[in-house]
Amino acid sequence: MTISIRSVEKQFARYPALRGVSLEVQPGELLALLGPSGSGKTTLLRIIAGLEFPEAGQVAFDDQDVTFASAAVRKVGFVFQQYALFRHMTVAKNIAFGLDVRKAKDRPARAEINRRVEDLLGLVELGGLGGRYPAQLSGGQRQRVALARALAVSPQVLLLDEPFGALDATVRKSLRKELRRIHNATGVTTIFVTHDQEEALDLADRVAILNQGSIEQVGTPQEVYDQPASAFVCSFVGETNRFDGAVSGGRFVCGSVSLAVDCADGPKTAFVRPHDLVVAPEGFEAKIVRVTAQGPVIQIEAQTASDQRIEISLARQEAGSIAVGQTLRLAARKVHLFDPAD
C-alpha cells in the first residue's frame, strides 16, 4: 500500500511539532524516520497510525483520504516504544486481542485464531511461550510479542516507534536482523522511528531525516550518507569533521586548514568524513593526540595548527607507523560544502 503524506502540520500547545511534511512511502518498503529527539518523527508516525490528528495537510492510504479516520479503521499494526503489552493477559491472549475484539460476524473461529497465534509465535521465534505473562518475559521477548500482536490483524502497514530503544546492544542487533527477516517474509509496508543513524542506515530501504519538524532529506542509506542534502544531514548521519570558513580561488580555508574544492567564492561550512582524510605531502598539518586501533582501521584524534580537534580514520596498511606527538600532513578525498546559514 502506498502511504502519501501531504503538507502535514501539527502543533503542541504553541510549539510546532511538524511544519508541512510531505512524504511518499512505497508499497512493501521498509522506511526509517530518523531524527534527534524533538524532531517530530514520533508525531509523524502517530499521525500515520491515527493516534494523533494533524491541523493541516492530508494523509492518504492508496489515494484514499484517511486524515481523520480513527486508528481502529486504518488497519495499521503499531509497536509502541515501551511495547504496551496488556499486562493482565497471557502472551497468546495479547497476540489474539486484535482478532478477539472483532464483531462476531468478522471474527475467525476459535481454532483459527489459535492457529494464527501459533503461527505468529513461530514467526517471532517464541514458540511455547504463549501461556506466559508479559512480566515473565525479557525485554527482547516482549518486543517480539509486541511485533506478533501488531501483525496478528494482518495490517496493511506496520509502524514501529523506537522499536529497539529499550534493549541492550546485543539484543538490539539480533532483533534488527529479525525485523528485516519478518519484513521480507510478510512484505508489509513498514515504517519505523529511530534516533540511531546506524540502525536506520543498516535496516531501512530508504531513510527520511527529520529536523525541527521538517524533512531534510529522503533517500537510500547510501544517498543520505554520500550526498547529504544539508549541513544537518551531513553532521547527523555518520561521523564528520566540521570546519567553518570561506572559499576563495578554489580553496576552502579555515584557520590553518586548507582544502582544494570546486566551488564559487564565499563563506562556507565544510564537512569531511574521517575516512575521507588522507595523508598527502602537500596537505595541512595536524599533530596526533590519540591513536586507537580498531581492527583494520586506525582512529586518530589530531589537532590542527589553529587548535581544532579533528578525527581521521586510516586503513592500517595506509597508515604505516603512527605515534602520538607525530605531525601528519592531510588532504581531503571528498568535501561536503554548505552555506553557513544551514
Partner 1 sequence: MSPRSSTQDPWWVKTLVLSLVAVFLGLILVLPLVSVFAEALRQGLGPALEAMSTPDAIASIKLTLLTAAVAVPFNIVFGVAAAWAVAKHEFWGKSLLISLIDVPFSVSPVVAGLIYVLIFGSHGWFGSWLIDHNIKIIFAVPGIMLATLFVTFPFVARELIPLMQEQGVDEEEAAASMGAGGWMTLWRVTTPNIRWGLLYGVLLCNARAMGEFGAVSVVSGHIRGLTNTMPLHVEILYNEYDFVGAFSVAALLCLLSILTLILKGLLEMLQPQVRRAGH
Establish if 53 lies at the interface with partner 1 (CB under 8 A): no
Establish if 87 lies at the interface with partner 1 (CB under 8 A): yes
**Dihedral-angle region of residue 273 (phi above 0 means left; psi in -120 to 50 means alpha; beta otherwise):** beta
Establish if 50 lies at the interface with partner 1 (CB under 8 A): yes
Establish if 77 lies at the interface with partner 1 (CB under 8 A): yes
**Dihedral-angle region of residue 81 (phi above 0 means left; psi in -120 to 50 means alpha; beta otherwise):** alpha
Listed residue (262, 257, 340, 342) closest to 306, CA to CA: 257
Kindly tell me which of 158 and 207 has the beta carbon lying closer to partner 1.
Answer: 158
Q: Which of 7, 12, 55, 102 touches partner 1 (CB under 8 A)? A: 102
Q: Which of 1, 69, 153, 261 touches partner 1 (CB under 8 A)? A: 153
Site string for partner 1, 112-151 (x = CB under 8 A): ---------------------x-x-------------xx-
Of the candidate spans 56-64, 81-89, 285-293, 313-321, the one that interacts with partner 1 by CB under 8 A turns out to be: 81-89
Can you read off the three cell numbers belonging to residue 98?
A: 486484535
Can you read off the three cell numbers belonging to residue 261?
A: 574544492
Q: Which of 101, 280, 289, 293 touches partner 1 (CB under 8 A)? A: 101
Going by their DSSP bridges, the two strands 189-194 and 206-211 should be labelled as: unpaired
Establish if 264 lies at the interface with partner 1 (CB under 8 A): no
Q: DSSP readout, 236-296?
A: HSS--EEEEEEEETTEEEETTEEEE----SEEEEEEE-GGGEEEEEEEEEEEEEEEEEETT
Q: How far apart are CA 226 and CA 274, in angstroms?
A: 13
- Per the document, the length of the chain is 342
Establish if 80 lies at the interface with partner 1 (CB under 8 A): yes
Going by their DSSP bridges, the two strands 327-332 and 277-294 should be labelled as: antiparallel
Establish if 329 lies at the interface with partner 1 (CB under 8 A): no
Establish if 163 lies at the interface with partner 1 (CB under 8 A): no
Q: Which of 26, 64, 65, 88 touches partner 1 (CB under 8 A)? A: 88
Shortest distance, CB of residue 79 to partner 1, whole angstroms?
9
Establish if 166 lies at the interface with partner 1 (CB under 8 A): no
Characterize 88-124 residue by residue with b for buried, 16 or more Cβ atoms within 10 angstroms of its Cβ, and e for exposed: eebbbbbbbebbeeeeeeeeeeeeebeebbeebbebb
Q: How far apart are CA 131 and CA 190, in angstroms?
A: 28
Establish if 40 lies at the interface with partner 1 (CB under 8 A): no
Establish if 73 lies at the interface with partner 1 (CB under 8 A): yes
Residues at the contact surface with partner 1, assessed by CB under 8 A: 49-51, 70-73, 75-78, 80, 82, 84-88, 97-98, 101-102, 133, 135, 149-150, 152-153
